[in-house]
């Protein structure tokens, strides 16, 4: 919980984001990868829940249950959601590095199509067919994609 509290109050410049569906494997993977990489010294990373808090509460009860089982009964007190003020503010900031988990194409809410040119995909961990994006910022060992 201390890790999540720290990231909530002071997000890093490297975000870990799951797919836009916000399913359980995507959300849990983003949280766990950010934590493991931060603890191992790979880099300080902040998990971002790829759906709004309202969406999670109304359409993803399985995620709420999983979080509750590990002691996170009030996700909004520990997690940054895609609609969090800090994330909305940082979507226009430059110098934001991103790790994608459970997908390999940055949602247009965060990509250059919306003028957020400062966001760079630096790492991908996925099990879907590689769409071939971000070769200039994410290549070789930083692209862990099951179907190349």
pLDDT in tens, 109-142: 665 544 445 678 999 999 988 888 899 999 888 9
Dist CA 23 CA 59 (whole Å): 9
Give the mean pLDDT of 37-56: 94
Dist CA 49 CA 30 (whole Å): 8
Residues 6+ apart with CB under 8 A from 60: 22, 23, 24, 27, 51
pLDDT at 83 exceeding the cut of 90: no
Residues 6+ apart with CB under 8 A from 118: 92, 93, 94, 95, 96
Lowest mean pLDDT among 7-21, 58-72, 86-100: 86-100
Q: Give residue 29's pLDDT.
A: 96
pTM (two decimals): 0.90
């Amino acid at each position: 919980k201390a890790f999540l509290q720290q990231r909530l109050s002071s997000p890093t410049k490297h975000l870990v984001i799951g797919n836009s569906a916000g399913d359980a494997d995507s959300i849990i993977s983003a949280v766990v990868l950010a934590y493991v990489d931060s603890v191992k010294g790979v880099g300080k990373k902040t998990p971002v829940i790829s759906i709004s808090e309202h969406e999670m509460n109304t359409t993803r009860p399985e995620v709420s249950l999983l979080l509750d089982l590990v002691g996170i009964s009030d996700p909004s007190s520990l997690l940054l959601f895609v609609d969090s003020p800090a994330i909305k503010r940082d979507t226009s900031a430059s110098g934001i590095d991103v790790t994608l988990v459970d997908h390999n194409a940055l949602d247009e809410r965060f990509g250059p199509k919306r003028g957020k040119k400062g966001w760079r995909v630096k790492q991908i961990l996925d099990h879907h067919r590689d769409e071939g994006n971000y070769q200039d910022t994410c290549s070789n060992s930083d692209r862990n994609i099951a179907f190349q």
